[in-house]
Chains A and B, each alone.
Chain A
Amino acid sequence: MNPPVIQDAIAKVAAARDKRYANHPTNAPLNDEYMEMAMAGEFAFGEFCGQMPDLAQRAEGDGGVDFTIMLLTTVDVKTIKQGYQYLLHKVDKPMADLYVLAEYERESKSATLIGWTSRAELKEQEPRTFGHDYLDFHQHRSTLRPMHSLRRRMGHFVRLQE
């Protein structure tokens, strides 16, 4: 569970983004907790990689990039509700290099990282619809790579810099 100060930050940033993007043409919230879920996922990955999530209120959104980690590798964190099975990325949106799936726990208002995949692997399956009028790239959570394998690879670079 996130400490109260983080929970408060998530709620405030999510509320500000909800307000800012309410009438934006690309804004298509999947549920009323969408921004809060997304922020919780970003905070979970921020803790994982030692970076603060980007809290800026950008007029055009984040362009599909939540974090930039070593060697300018871009990362998009996707957060799902508990029990949901797929990491989804809308076909016509810009793609990041790596994707991380987080699962949101409503009671604690925090997210747990499930696994990660690469752009190449996410695009392996034929896109399909998931109850919307657009196509998604998709990957089942059971086929994602474990987070410790990403931590191990990132750790190689940290050791070199020491």
Chain B
Amino acid sequence: MNALDREILTSIWLRCQWDFLVQNPQLADWLEGSVLEASDEVEDGKPVYRLLVADPGAAEWVNAHGFALRRSLSVEMKMPVLVKVVQADMTVQP
């Protein structure tokens, strides 16, 4: 993934988060600082994106709103996608 693709993905993800701010503010709170990444996986013919959630313990809560995430991102991407929420590894590597 090149820098331009990454920037486009960041822009799309920020738009999703802004929409949540209006529709589902608590979800938006949990998603602050999260990062969306493309992956090479495809499931049921849909590309899979990885959502790295920064807030410890947020992954489970955000996962419970998987449908809202998937729908919002699919609308922005203009195609059906899947989202896997994972806890970001915040460990600083030496």
Contact = CB atoms under 8 A, between A and B. Distances in A.
Interface residues on A, range: 10 to 19
Nearest to A71: B18
Interface of A is mostly: helix
Contact of A120 (B11, B14, B15, B24): B24
Interface string A121-158: 10000000000000000000000010000000100110
Contacts of B91: none
Contact of A157 (B14, B22, B23): B14
A70 B10 contact: no
Nearest to A161: B11
Interface string B1-43: 0000001001100110111011111000000000000000000
Contact of B22 (A120, A145, A156, A160): A120
A160 B24 contact: no
B84 to A, nearest CB: 23
Contacts of A14: none
A160 B10 CA distance: 9
A145 B11 CA distance: 24
A120 B15 CA distance: 18
Contacts of A98: 21-22
Contacts of B18: 70-71, 73, 153, 157
Contacts of A160: 7, 10-11, 14
A118 B11 CA distance: 22
A97 interface: yes
Interface of B: 7, 10-11, 14-15, 17-19, 21-25
15 contacts: A73-B18, A73-B22, A98-B21, A98-B22, A117-B25, A118-B21, A118-B25, A120-B22, A120-B23, A120-B24, A145-B25, A153-B17, A153-B18, A160-B7, A160-B11
Interface of A: 70-71, 73, 97-98, 117-121, 145, 153, 156-157, 160
